[in-house]
Amino acid sequence: MGMNDSETVALIGGGHAFGKCHGACSLGAGDGPDVDAESPWPGNCGAGIAQNTFTSGFEGEWTHTPLLWSNEYFEQLLADNYTLWVSPGGSPQWENDRNGLMMLTTDLALVADDEYTAIVTEFAEDISALNTAFAAAWKKLVENGDATQWADNMFCVDADDVKRTHIECGQTLTGSVGNSPDSVLVAFENDQVQSVTFSNCDSSFDTTMFLADSNGLDIQQQSTNHCDGDDCCDPEFCRTSYRETFTMSDLEVGSYTLRLTPYAQGGDWSLTVQCQVDHNGRGRGQIASALLDTDSWTVVLTNKDLMILVLVAVNLVTIVATYCLCSRSRRHSKGKYMKVVAKGTNLEAVALKQ
């Protein structure tokens, strides 16, 4: 394919910076694309998805952040030791003695050669060098060859026809997901500026949840509770520990992606989206600044606010009643003032008791 040594190492390590191998199922992958081109390797365990996904027969991920680009793959090749073991799918692979992550024999071969070891060292120390080499290798990979080299049973799918999971305001979606780093991606289209609350409160496992904008940047830190993606509490919506709930105030119109990932063990997930906007299409943050301009508005009170309001009302009634009694006493008394003498009485205690 015309790759030089630097591009070869970059393509292997860059590809292994993402994703994981799937081989937890001991029954194998099932028929390949030569038998069923539209549904190859369905997996012979359970539904063949999540923890039962089976492709290569190897099992595990190469890095701690399989959803993010990094050079951790190269750092581990140089710094760590590995022990040979056999995956549940029956494939021999290598386990990191320090952190339990995996490598394949072909990965470890990169540091068995002096020239390749030098390239691995360069990428481990300088991620910009990896970026440059990987970009060149990827360009060659996707542009090399022509249509005559494709399989006879190839077919193309229009991107618009690919099924994506979407969620709308007021909707709750549920499903199941395997152990980390497996994840769930859900698309959300915000068609007007409004405050949007995202919550996975009813999930059965410890979760992490992030919200990305159309540029792929995580923005949940901009929420009202500054959520970092893990254990974000909002008692108004959810009181369950180890879940995430956050509200994006005045979220701009656009396309967003929710990414829900188990912190460790997976299970059944639940995702809810609630939206709040006033009749003029403004979110919570805009409503407050417009109160002087509107003819009617709604006040939302929490339990704490309601209790304070009740106490203020009780005190106000007490003050008015006391004033009326004093006025009546002055009208029926002979002098301007009426002298009251209380012996051995705690007036504050009596007042509180009343």
Domains contained in the chain, CATH given:
5-22+57-149 (1.10.420.10), 166-293 (2.60.120.380), 303-353 (no CATH)
Which phi and psi (to 5°) does residue 136 adopt?
-65, -40
- Residues 15-36, mean pLDDT to the nearest whole number: 79
Question: What is the C-alpha separation between 120 and 231, in angstroms, rounded?
Answer: 37
Altogether, the residues listed in the chain come to a count of 354
User: In this predicted structure, what is the pLDDT of residue 338?
Assistant: 46
Most confidently predicted of 119-123, 160-164, 278-282, 349-353: 119-123
Residue (of 275, 274, 280, 309) closest to 297 by Cα position: 280
Q: What is the distance of C-alpha 61 from the center of its chain?
A: 19
Distance from C-alpha of 181 to C-alpha of 267, rounded to nearest angstrom: 13
Question: Which comes out higher in pLDDT, residue 159 or 40?
Answer: 40
CB 141: neighbour CB atoms within 10 A? 16
pTM higher than 0.85 = no
Helix or strand holding residue 83 (H, E): strand 82-86
Does the structure show a pLDDT above 80 at 165? yes
Q: Give pLDDT, residue 334.
A: 43
Residue carrying the six token digits 């780093």: 181
Cis peptide bond N-terminal to 181, omega within 30:
yes
**pLDDT tens digits along 302-335:** 566 667 777 777 777 777 666 555 444 444 444 4
Which residue would you say has higher pLDDT here, 300 or 185? 185
Nearest to 274 by CA among 194, 210, 213: 194
> What phi and psi, each to the nearest 5 degrees, are found at residue 11?
-65, -40
Give the integer Cα–Cα distance in Å for 147 and 154: 10
Per residue in 185-231, pLDDT (tens digit) is 999 999 999 999 999 999 999 999 999 998 888 999 999 999 999 99
